[in-house]
Homo-oligomer: A and B are copies of this chain.
């Protein structure tokens, strides 16, 4: 029997998952209704439309929906925070009391923030008892999360995806290079990773212009520049996160995210003599269900009918 509607509500996308009492996803729907491009009817309209026909269940959302520009600003929870702390800090009572939002996390060191990724990491923790790992969520703003004995103790954001996009589209290095290349140029990517790895404490920004010099030398074909840049920036993540002690030899790496992107990170990891675990595509549903369960939010259509009227059994 269905027990929860989980929502992964980001900047550009809204995903709704109907889950049963064991956390199994019974049905999943996705719409391009991120907080920057809501349909007519706004947040409430989007939520009603994407859950149309589903039972009237408790709903738990994670992601940018809880940001300052989202439906309701939910304050960040500061590290150190256990999974139980996050469950206790769910922001309830939205949309006629049926919606709760997961708080993002704030790392006073940095400072740094995340919204949405904490739920993915919690999904991983929930299914791996006393996990100790560095969890990497590659993307526009890649997150490196240090998990010790099942708790998130540190994290750092690297703006790798965004920097790559800017350099690729607008910079002297990438602008003007045809965008119709399709195949992954693995040798160029690995060259970029190694250049970052071998840049020492100076770091990859001190090697960025070498991309141009290599092109002028004829050592790097223009068509290879995008994957070389990708390797340089992803390699810089590993180099910098090792220096910042987010990447350590005593904890394995787990990757969560898009398969092709995670494959690049696994390649980069091997250049740093690290074996990353096979990537996991998505743990949002597991995280949402785990938090809802810990917070006593799981309901049934019947129970929920009571809760909507204000009477909880």
Contacts of A206 in B (CB 8 A): 156, 158, 240-241, 243-244
How many chain-A residues does the 8 Å CB contact rule pick out? 41
Q: A174-205 vs B: 1/0 string, CB under 8 Å? A: 00000000000000000000000000111111
Contacts of A200 in B (CB 8 A): 201, 243-244
Kindly state the separation between the CA atoms of A112 and B156 in the bound complex, as whole angstroms: 31
Stretch touching chain B among A1-9, A52-60, A164-172: A164-172
Contact call B162/A212, Cβ cutoff below 8 A: no
Contacts of A68 in B (CB 8 A): 216
Contacts of A217 in B (CB 8 A): 111
Kindly state the separation between the CA atoms of A172 and B157 in the bound complex, as whole angstroms: 13
Contact call A157/B243, Cβ cutoff below 8 A: no
Of the candidates B111, B171, B172, B205, which one forms a contact with A205 in the assembled complex, judged by CB atoms under 8 Å apart?
Answer: B205
Decide yes or no: A110 and B205 within 8 Å by CB, A200-B243, A244-B200 being known contacts.
Answer: no
Contacts of A166 in B (CB 8 A): 166-167, 170-171
Sampled A-B contacts (29; CB under 8 Å): A76-B216, A110-B210, A110-B213, A111-B217, A111-B219, A113-B212, A113-B216, A141-B172, A156-B206, A158-B208, A159-B171, A159-B172, A159-B208, A162-B172, A163-B205, A166-B166, A166-B167, A200-B244, A201-B201, A201-B203, A202-B203, A202-B240, A202-B244, A203-B203, A203-B205, A204-B205, A205-B205, A205-B240, A206-B244
